[in-house]
Structure 1
Amino acid sequence: MPKEIERKFLVDKTLWQQLEKPQGTYLRQGYLSTDPARTVRVRIAGERAYLTIKGKTTGISRSEWEYPIPLADARALLDELIPASIEKRRYVIEFEGRHWEVDAFEGANQGLLVAELELQSEEEAFALPPGWTGRYQRMPAM
């Protein structure tokens, strides 16, 4: 069973704005289910689309399955079945051989900046990028 193990951090907006960043990818996503025991998400990332199913979070781990779906289907689901979608721009920052994903939210959540790092185990050690990563944030299970 595939597992997602991740840590999320708030990002210091002032320091983030001073960084030279790579090109970000526009994401639009919404949830078909937000039950704490299972979430079902539809996401458009650039010109690709995915359906993701996530199980209940235990510690910082949860089961996760992700499948590519036709872009037209994702657009229809987001437009017709999901009343509110989330928009953000995702940046991938390389630091000490790791891929940090930083989401700069747009729309209703504009101003929110969250960094996440996927791990191989809950005990895995890692270094924080200097400056822009803020405190560890226990994010909701969505």
Structure 2
Amino acid sequence: MAKEIERKFLVRGDHWRDLVSEKLTLRQAYIASMDDRSVRVRLTNDTVATLTMKIGRAMTRDEFEYEIPIADAEELLGNAIGLVIEKTRYKVPFKGFVWEVDVFRGAHRGLVIAEVEMEDESDDPELPDWVGREVTGEYRYSNQALATQFEQEYDELSHSA
């Protein structure tokens, strides 16, 4: 079983752009979403599709990821819970770690979040000057919340009429 160990930060400034080693275009959506688990479909550069299950909400979560046919991913994106998240992911090497800077498009335009994956919770990556407040574990900054929060608000409003 794979473990995902990551820290997440808001990004300030554009200093990271000079350090980018790779750029990916992502579309992703949630097929199932619960408080501490989710099933996500992701299409990367329109050429690779994955289905991912995550369990847990802390810095360390269980993660299971499988490649699936692109046609299946497209159909699953069309059956998403909430929004399809659109973002560009930039890989930014910095002092022994690769940071992933996500620049959101669509409904979340303007939001920029950086994540750093670690081998162990005790790892202590040096923080670049372009990262701001740490938001690790803050559900509202999770992709799961970004995808589903609008539908939840809509559901609440639709029931109040």
Could you tell me the TM-score, scaled by structure 2's length?
0.79
Alignment of 1:1-142 (within 5 A): 1-12=1-12, 15-16=13-14, 19-20=17-18, 21-46=20-45, 47-57=47-57, 59-79=58-78, 81-82=79-80, 83-129=82-128, 131-138=129-136, 139-140=138-139, 142=144
- Aligned-residue sequence identity (percent) comes to 43
Change over 3 Å in CA distance of 1:18–1:51 after alignment to 2: closer
- Whole-angstrom distance in 2 between the partners of 1:6 and 1:26: 21
> Whose relative contact order is higher, 1 or 2, with alpha carbons under 8 Å and at least 6 apart?
1
SS at match of 2:83: coil
Coordinate RMSD, CA, aligned: 1.6
Question: Aligned partners of 2:123 and 2:53: how far apart in 1?
Answer: 24
User: Deviations 1:51-88 (Å, cap 9, x if unpaired)?
Assistant: 0000022x311100000001111011112x11520000
Unaligned segments of structure 1, at least 5 residues: none
Greater Cα shift, 18-27 or 97-106? 18-27
Cα shift readout 1:30-70 (whole Å, capped 9, x = no counterpart): 0011101310000001110100000022x311100000001
CA distance in 1, matches of 2:96, 2:43: 27
Distance 1:22 1:109 in 2: 24
Mapped partners of 1:18, 1:92: distance in 2: 10
Please give the secondary structure, in 2, of the residue aligned with 1:28. strand
- Contact 2:16 2:92 (C-alpha < 8 Å) held by counterparts: no
Count of aligned pairs? 137
Q: Structure 1 runs of 4+ off > 4 angstroms?
A: none
Rounded Cα–Cα distance in structure 1 between residues aligned with 2:107 and 2:125: 32
**TM score, norm. by length of structure 1:** 0.89
Distance 2:71 2:43 in 1: 10
Distance in 2 (CA, whole Å) between partners of 1:77 and 1:18 is 33
